[in-house]
Structure 1
Amino acid sequence: MLVSRVLPDPPRLDALASSETISLFLDFDGTLVDLAERPDAISVAEGLHTRLEKLSDRLGGRLALVSGRAVPDLDRHIGQPKVARAGSHGLAMTMADGGPIGPEPAALAPDVVRLFRDFAASRKLLLEEKPHGLALHFRMAPLLEDEAADFARNLANEHGLEIKTGKSVVELVARGANKGAAVHAFMQLSPFAGSRPIFVGDDMTDEDGFSAAAGIGGFGVLVGERHPTAAAYRLADPAAVHEWLGL
């Protein structure tokens, strides 16, 4: 349930991990790295790859990155850490050893891709093409937000797709793309099964992860400010996330 209230800091991670078996699900952009004007312009802290692997080891392998980025794009920025990963808002999932979970999802139809490309070019918007989705970024053209959202929504309705909205972005994805669904899928598998899930994220698409974690006895941690939210706790920014995680 989404609520508007002042959120406290989460309990210390080492205290949680020492008192119960927990799993961590971490968003990437806006959570582990600061947002940038372009998706390819983010700055990743040196050694993040190694520190995430060490954190996963501390948790017995119960760490997963759950991102709107495609898994190959995520790996391009942080290497290929030996942690579980869900990309494209949960459509594509891998275990820590790189083994896929479920079948490879289908790409969007060529006609949809063409229409999105044409719209982005005509409005001079940044189009991010992913294996399983298309994202229009309007951070540098905020006045086009409503037009971009309407275009994506109409196209989604016509082709049986869904849209995801975030910070200065609207994305077209296949039905079923849901970070909460990714949490539920991981929680059915070893080593996550039977643990208490904690989801950390900053954007609207992370609300599904917060709700999923809460529904299994865990909780969400919101990064930054947004109301209402299903998260139970809050951290100020990615730097605070790194400190809380001990990275």
Structure 2
Amino acid sequence: MQYYQMTGFLGGPDPCTQKADDIDLPHPDTAALLLDFDGTLVDIADRPDGITVPDDLGDLLARAMDRTDGAVALVSGRTIDDLVQFLPGFDGTLIGAHGSEFRVAGERFPAADFDHDTIERLQRLVEDFGALRPEFLVEPKPTGVVLHYRQAEALGALALHFMESLADAAEGFRLQPALMAYEIKPESVGKDIALDRLLDDGPFAGRTPIYAGDDLTDEPALKLVRARGGAAIKIGDAETVAAHRLADPTALRTLLDGWLG
């Protein structure tokens, strides 16, 4: 059962979701809005390229940018290129690959200098493994690699054992469990690390943060936002440090729509 626990399938005892109007958020004039993408703003799909972006999401994000004076960031495990593809009209801050790359005020830059030789070796090894077991989906990232097993749940323990072994052998890298996936990435990369840097700069400085996310990878960011006196919202029923919980992306979009007025 270890891999189920690590991927967040086992939530807390009888988690209950809230209605959108039961969550009190700081006023948009004083808030910074920080949002995960998959499973938070859009519904999860079987494959990363299979998601459907709601027709009104672009308008919702544009309104949020206007009301917060630009203090809106999408914080995703996806690359920035992926996010731009799905949200071409969004001109706010993007944090991609779990905090390894930034787009701020239109300028793109990496969070740090990474060991690209090790990243390439890890990607080759995982791709070879995926070729042997086509039930898995391999997703290279700028700073690592992801092995998805959403279409092969019964093989979750095999995925864990393989990826854990690789991560243990790669100095300076660690295993990041996610929903139906395992990612190997640098130890210096995390959504919380990226947000701690972002919240002290530019239009985000001095504002009360709001963060919403659904995955295990969001938990450190939810914890950081709570420590900074902000509002942390978990999407879904997995175990969480967040004080608030909503059922799904539709509920979050409803909450934000009412909040923006």
Q: Provide TM-score, normalisation by structure 1.
A: 0.90
Residue in structure 1 matched with residue 120 of structure 2 by the alignment: 110
Match of 2:31 in 1: 22
For residues 50-89 of structure 1, the aligned pairs below 5 Å read: 50-79=59-88, 81-89=90-98
**Partner residue in 2 for 1:180:** 192
Cα deviation code 1:151-193 (max 9, x no counterpart) = 1111111112112111111111112221111211111101111
Q: Does 2:221 align with 1:209?
A: yes
CA distance in 1, matches of 2:203, 2:48: 31
Provide the rounded CA distance (Å) in 2 between the counterparts of 1:157 and 1:106.
Answer: 16
Moved more, 199-208 or 90-99: 90-99
Q: Secondary structure at the match of 2:107?
A: coil
Following superposition, the deviation at residue 83 of structure 1 comes to 0.8
TM-aligned CA deviation for residue 88 of structure 1: 0.6
Per the normalisation by structure 2, the TM-score is: 0.85
- Larger mean CA deviation between 98-107 and 72-81 belongs to 98-107
Structure 1 range deviating more: 204-213 or 49-58: 49-58
Q: For the residues of structure 2 that align with 1:26 and 1:185, how far apart are their CA atoms?
A: 16
**Equivalences, count:** 244
Give the whole-Å Cα distance in 1 for the aligned partners of 2:114 and 2:49: 23
8 Å CA contact 1:69, 1:89 repeated in 2: yes
Number of the residue aligned with 2:4 = none
Q: Structure 1 residues 188, 112: CA separation in 2 closer, same or farther (over 3 Å shift)?
A: same
Q: How does 1:80-229 map to 2 (within 5 A)?
A: 81-100=90-109, 102-103=111-112, 105=114, 107=116, 108-124=118-134, 125-160=136-171, 161-227=173-239, 229=240
- Superposition deviation, residue 6 in structure 1: 4.8
CA contact (8 A) 1:162 1:173 kept: yes
Deviation at 1:69, TM superposition (A): 0.5
Structure 1's unaligned 5+ residue stretches are none
Q: C-alpha deviations, 1:47-98, integer Å up to 9, x for none?
A: 5334312211111111100000011111111115111111111111121433
Q: Partner of 1:230 in structure 2?
A: 241
Residues 70, 132 of structure 1: 8 Å contact kept: no
Displacement of 1:210 after TM fit? 0.5
